[in-house]
Every structure is written in C-alpha cells, then in structure tokens.
Chains A and B, each alone.
Chain A
C-alpha cells in the first residue's frame, strides 16, 4: 500500500514537499504502517478524490437537469438566437448568448492584457524594489472589489460617462462595421461591458504575468544589459521570450474569468438576443448574465434551459482553463495563486 507513495520522493514534480519517509531496509515495509496511519492517509486521499467527484458531479447534474428542457425545445439549441423557454412551445438557442459571451470576453482580454503586462513590467522591472510589493498590493485591491459593486458602478457611473466617447467613435469611425450603430444610439453596450470586464480581469492577468516575470533568471537580464541593451531591449530579448507562455496562459485565465462573469454584465447590458457586431449599440447578452436576468421569471422548462446554457458555459470555460493550466503546469514551481 504505502510503498507506492514512498519510493520516488526526490524525483517527484513537487520538489518543495517533504521527502517520503524512508522505511528501514530490514524487515517488511508493510509491517511498520500502523492502522491509524493507514486510516488517516485514506481519509485525506478520499477527500482528494472527492474533489474530482465534485467536478464530475457538476457536469452530471447540469446534464441531468438540462435534458427535459432540451427535449421540449422546438428550436435548434445551437443555432437558434431567440430565447423563449417559458413560452409554449418553448423555443430557445444558445447562439446569440454564446456569441455575446465570447465577444465581450475577447474585447475585455484585448483591452486588459496589454495594460496588465505593462503593470507587471512596471512592478518587476521599472519600479524601485522597495515599492514593488505595495504597488502590487494596490493592483490586487481591484480583485477585492466584489463584482456586483463593479456592476453598480458600471451601470450608474461608467455608462453615462462613456456616452461621449462612444458617440465620438461612432461619429468618426462609424465606417468601420464594428463601430457603426443600429440607429445612431449608444449606451449600455458590449463595449462598456467589456471595459468593466477588463477592469475585473486586470488583477489576475497582472498577478500571474508578474509572477512569471519575476522568475526570469537574472543572468539573462544582466547579460542583455552588459551587451549594451537599453531597458526595453533587455525586456524584449530576455523577459518577454521567457515570460511568453505565462502571459498567454494568464490571458486565457482572464478570458475564462471574463466569460463566466455574471452580475456585472447582467447589470450593464440591456439583455437582447441578437447577433450583432455593433459593439457600441445598447444591445447584447451573455450566457451568465442571461442566467441572472432570466432566473426569477423562469418556469421549470425555463430553468432547464438556463441550466443547459450553463452547461455550455461550463464546458467552454473548463476547456479554456484546462488549456491555460496545461501551459503553466510545465513550470511546476509556479504556484498559480489566485
């Protein structure tokens, strides 16, 4: 039983962990393990396996409770843009919601990642060393603000203040399809929602990029500087190539966060069900926001439909997260905190 846990202490990927107990060479290794030890070990192992079971259960119960609604659906779940699960017969599809989810999250990522990389570089390379920790703490404070507060702020404060910029964008750049509007109106748009999301994912992308940049071996940086590189050339040749996988996975984690964010988007977006690239128009919805908005008036089929949409969100975010973590996992000493 225990021999499999003991043999390979040094070669294991978690180098910081305690080395496994070396059993005395003489005598049977099995005889030395007391029953209490065995019980304790198996209790902890059961908890660990319980965690895997939990993830499987999340998927299983979402599927179970979504089935009857999907069977009652008279539209095609993947291509229909309408969302009338409470009507009879129910018609609903994920197309518009999934489109909105991906679009807002991608725009948020495009806004947040350059700023977050800038912050990470500022803290790791530019800021005086003594200030690095407090400055990082200030950025982390953004993560402590609850999402519903961002939603409240976005709806009441940010939306009216963005109207000028949005109007300006559509007036002068309206010839770009992305910036044209349906009828000249701007307001609670995908663009504003994406900005709120960008603010919300900024801390996690910045924190992970920062951690990766801190791991860049000093000899790499010093070599670049010794060859006469300016600070930017040092960053370009030493820091960025080393940190690239970390930044990519940090961005993907941010993307996953942005796709799953619910309340802030539910407050900012007006919840419409259409596929439109006009990101300045007051329209748009996401899967998560639709769950929050639609839940209170949902009948049993409606609830099932929301759970089905949640299942899609679960699969998409899990895939994004797994890919992101797989990139990070190659560097095991990296903790992946927050």
Chain B
C-alpha cells in the first residue's frame, strides 16, 4: 500500500547517461507511507510494543523502496538500495537493545539507589522487607576483583613476555593458540573447576578467595592478549639501543620494554577487570553468597554485586526486584567507570 505513493514521481525517462534516480522526496514519501500503513495495521490488529511498530514500519519501507527503485532505477540499483537500507536497519536494530537495557536499568534503578542503599547490608532483612542495601556485595566484589587482579596480572604478563620476547617455535604457538581458546571458556566452567579443585578436592570452604580464583582464570586470557599486543607495539629500536649499551636481555625487558608498554597494559587490565566484575556464574559456585558483611575474603562466604542481582531478581516480591534493578545500576556504573578509566589510561599511552 505504501508503494502507490511513488507513482507520480516516476516520469518517462530519456536516454541520459546517469539514468533515472529516485529523488529524496520520493524516498520520504515511501517512508511516510510505511509509517501510515503501520499505523493502520496498528488500528486493525493492535501491537503492544513500540519496538514492533518500528520494525514493521522499517520492513514496509524496505519493501516499498525496493519496488519503487526496481521500477525506476532497474534491478541492480534496487538490490543495492535494498542492501543499503538493510545494513542501516541492522545497525539501528543493535541500538534498540542497548538503549532499552540502559533505559530500563537507569529508570528502575534510580528510584531505589540512595546513600542508604549503598551503605547497608541485607542482614536480618527478608525478601519481603523493603529496606536493605548492597554494602556487603560491594565490599565482596571489590575484594574479589582486587584479589583476582593480584593473581592474574603478574602471571599473564609473564606469559605475554614469553610469547612476545622469547617465544619461537611450537610451544609458543601452542600457548598462543590456547590463550585464544581460553577466551571462549564459559565462565560457569571456571566456577565448576574451582568447585572441583579447590572446594571439593582440596576440601576448602567457600570464600571470596575461591571466587577470586575463578575470576583469575577468566582474566588471564584477556590480560595476556592485551599485554601481548602492547609489547608488540614497543619499537625494536628501544630494545636494540639497550642491547647496544650492554644491558642484559632480561633487564632490557623489565626496565625498558615493559615500562614503555605500561599504560597500554594498564588499559588492558582495567578492561579485563570491568569484564569479570559482572560475572555471576563462577561466583555462585564458589562464594555462596552472604547477607551480612564479611570483610575477610579468606574465610566464610561472601556476597558480590552480580550474585546479589541474581538472587534478588529470582525472588517473586516486587521489593526484591527493585533492589535488583538498583544493584544492576550500581554494577553498570562500576563497570563503565572502570572502562572509562581504562580509556583515559589509553589516552596517556598515545602521548608517548
């Protein structure tokens, strides 16, 4: 129905070299037609979502434009226009969930976030009670990611140094390959591994430390890969100048190469931290959750922000779901803050 609007725009064309082209007004008319058609559809068969409205209008525009272009400009141009619109729509389609998720989290989370929410725990507060906060979870998350970074960063840097500075031949190619493979390790498997190895085989109790071990496994491949990229960027002239001065290779690496790459390495570490700060599954299996504040990550169960969101979201009470949204907002702000710091650090890396 939207296609009828273009009929007046097509005039019988002559034999000029550029050929017939659809004018912007025609395209705008098709767009308007698509919207009107969708509104009509909306009246006939109610659709209960704005997103569906946009999608249907987009699809109608796509069809209308292709038919019009096919009639005026020929099949090749029509296909080209079709694909162009499709590609633009694909990008817009990806923005929908991003905007929708962020809008929901901000709208629903902002109502509940307060100073009180950030500084109280859930001790003695049932799912049905309205109070409570995330202090215990915030403490847990910060301690766990700090411990995980403490374990993962030195180890990952050594691996990266081996791969870039020393690695030749089959071993290093194998390691490099499995670093890539490890990036695809499901986070729940890291949790199950720590459960099997640390909690069951070594017979330890759940603690923030166990959670940090699981997060370490998830951080390692990310930090190795980013450190590797940064070390490769260090100009060889620096290494050669150092060698020429008679500095040993290991000192060159530690005193020249790593410090030169350090801002970039810090960026990679921060991005890795931001990534694991939102992990839930491995923590669920290793820290068990705790409603009270536990400052000691080495003994007793702890909580963590993602785990807190998970447990509150699963509860049927509205007050619990509200807490989940507020905690989600806090977590997203925390993750974005870490990413932002990482990008600022990357700026400094550029200056060099």
Interface positions of A (Cβ within 8 A of B): 4-9, 12-14, 16-21, 34, 36-37, 39-41, 43-52, 54-55, 57-58, 61-62, 64-65, 114-115, 117-119, 121-123, 125-126, 135, 138-139, 141-142, 144-153, 155-157, 161, 163-165, 199, 202, 206, 230-233, 235, 253, 256-257, 259-263, 266-267, 288, 291-292, 295, 303, 306-307, 310, 313-314, 317-318, 320-322, 324-325, 328-329, 335-338
Contact = CB atoms under 8 A, between A and B. Distances in A.
A139 B306 contact: no
A64 B98 contact: no
Given A122-B91, A148-B278, A325-B177, A41 B166 contact: yes
B119 interface: no
A144 B248 contact: no
A138 B93 CA distance: 13
Majority-rule SS of A interface residues: helix
A262 B98 contact: no
A153 B236 contact: no
B289 to A, nearest CB: 9
A161 B51 contact: yes
Contacts of B176: 14
A57 B197 contact: yes
Given A115-B90, A146-B277, A153-B100, A58 B76 contact: no
Contact of A206 (B94, B100, B171, B181): B94
A176 to B, nearest CB: 20
A163 to B, nearest CB: 8
B319 interface: no
Contacts of B178: 51-52, 55
Contacts of A44: 158-159, 161-162, 165-166
Contacts of B161: 44
A37 B248 contact: yes
A157 B102 CA distance: 12
A288 B182 contact: no
Nearest to B324: A152
Given A61-B196, A62-B196, A126-B84, A295 B284 contact: yes
12 contacts: A8-B169, A40-B254, A55-B178, A58-B193, A65-B201, A146-B328, A146-B335, A151-B313, A157-B104, A232-B82, A261-B186, A329-B180
A293 B248 CA distance: 55
Contact of B332 (A49, A145, A328): A145
Given A148-B328, A256-B184, A45 B166 contact: yes
A161 B100 CA distance: 12
Contacts of B168: 4-9, 12, 20
Interface in B297-352: 306, 309-310, 313-314, 321, 324-325, 328, 331-332, 335-336, 339
A115 B87 CA distance: 8
Interface string B173-206: 1111111111111111111110111001100000
Given A62-B196, A263-B306, A230 B77 contact: yes
Nearest to B173: A13
B248 A34 contact: yes
B262 interface: no
Contact of B182 (A5, A6, A55, A65): A55
A262 B186 contact: yes
Contacts of B229: 335, 337
Contacts of B188: 260, 262, 288, 291-292, 310, 313
A232 B79 contact: yes
B104 A260 contact: no
B25 interface: no
A151 B310 contact: yes
A8 B185 CA distance: 32
Contacts of A16: 232
B333 to A, nearest CB: 11
B71 interface: no
A71 to B, nearest CB: 16
Contacts of B102: 145
